[in-house]
Amino acid sequence: MMRILAIIILMFAVTECKPQSKDTEMKEHKHNPYYSRTDTTHLNVTDAEWKKILPAEVYRVARESGTEYPFTGEYWDSEAKGTYYCAVCGNKLFRSTAKFASSCGWPSFFESVNPDAVNYWPDNSMGMSRIEVECARCDSHLGHIFDDGPKPTGKRYCMNSIVLDFEPDGK
C-alpha cells in the first residue's frame, strides 16, 4: 500500500515539474477573469484577489516586486519572432523586434510596444536607485529599465520572463 502511495506521489511530483505547455497556460488564464489581450481598460484588482488567481511565482514577481534568478526564465535567450504580453492581465507589452541579446540573464528590450503599455516608478529598494517598470493595465511589476541599452533608444528594459506571455507570430 505504501509503495503504491509513493508511486502516486512521485507521479504527481513529476507532473508538477514538467514545463508548462501553452495549453496549461491558457487554462490558467481561464481562471483569471481579468486576462484579456484586447481589453485595455485599467484594472483595479486587490493583491488579495490576485493571490487567489495567479500562480505563486507569478504573484511573487508581479505583486511583490520579486525577481527571478538570471538565466532561469523561459525567454532570456529566446530569439523567436512574436509578441510578449503581460502574464497577469494580457496587456500587449513588447515585440520581439525590440528584443536584443543581453548578457544579463533576463529578457531585454530597447522599447515597449507603445508608450502607454508600461509605467515607470522610482525604486530605491535594495540600496539601489533604479526605475521600476510596471504594466500600465494591471500595475504589476515587470522589471526595471536601465540606460545601457542599444540604439535607437539606448534603453534596456530588463524584464522577468515569468510575468511575460509569448505568442509566436503567425498563430
Which residues are marked as active site? 158
CA 111 remoteness from chain centre: 16
Residues 51-110 that bind Zn ion (CB under 5 A): 86, 88-89, 91
Stretch that binds Zn ion, among 46-54, 97-105, 135-143, 154-162 (CB under 5 A): 135-143
Residues 99, 43, 35, 56, Cα dihedral to 10°: 80
Task: Find the binder of Zn ion among 138, 145, 159, 162 (CB under 5 A).
Answer: 138
Buried-state track 14-42, b at ≥16 Cβ within 10 A, e below 16 = eeeeeeeeeeeeeebbeebebbbeeeeee
Question: Is residue 160 near Zn ion by the rule CB under 5 A?
Answer: no
The residues pairing with 53 across neighbouring beta strands, listed in sequence order, are none
Q: How many chain residues are in contact with Zn ion, going by CB under 5 A? A: 8
Question: Is residue 164 near Zn ion by the rule CB under 5 A?
Answer: no
The footprint of Zn ion (CB under 5 A) covers: 86, 88-89, 91, 135, 137-138, 140
